[in-house]
Amino acid sequence: MTLHFGKQIVPADFPELKRLVWNRDPLRPIAAEEVFALYERNWRFVDQDHLTEREAELIDELGRLYGNGFGLK
């Protein structure tokens, strides 16, 4: 399956993801699989009401690829 967002994700491009990587450089790309793991581990901290449409699409894509059929939302 092709990744619409690519294999490397820049956290600064996604507001909620940027909040999750508070202890890292948000401009440094992270592997897509690791981004999914970050969302999964920290889902309780994601403000779902403030997800941008683009970030929601990213989460859906990552869930399809790495979530074994389970989404985060």
Residue with tokens 């990744």: 3
What DSSP letter does each residue of the chain carry, written as one string?
Answer: ---SS-SEE-GGGSHHHHHHTTTS-TTS-EEHHHHHHHHHHTGGG--GGG--HHHHHHHHHHHHHHSTT----
What is the pTM assigned to this prediction? Answer: 0.88
| Spans of all domains in the chain | 8-66
Please list the residues that pair with 9 across neighbouring strands.
30
**pLDDT score at 2:** 54
Q: pLDDT, tens digit, for every residue of 16-64?
A: 999 999 999 999 999 999 999 999 999 999 999 999 999 999 999 999 8
C-beta separation of 14 from 54 below 8 A? yes
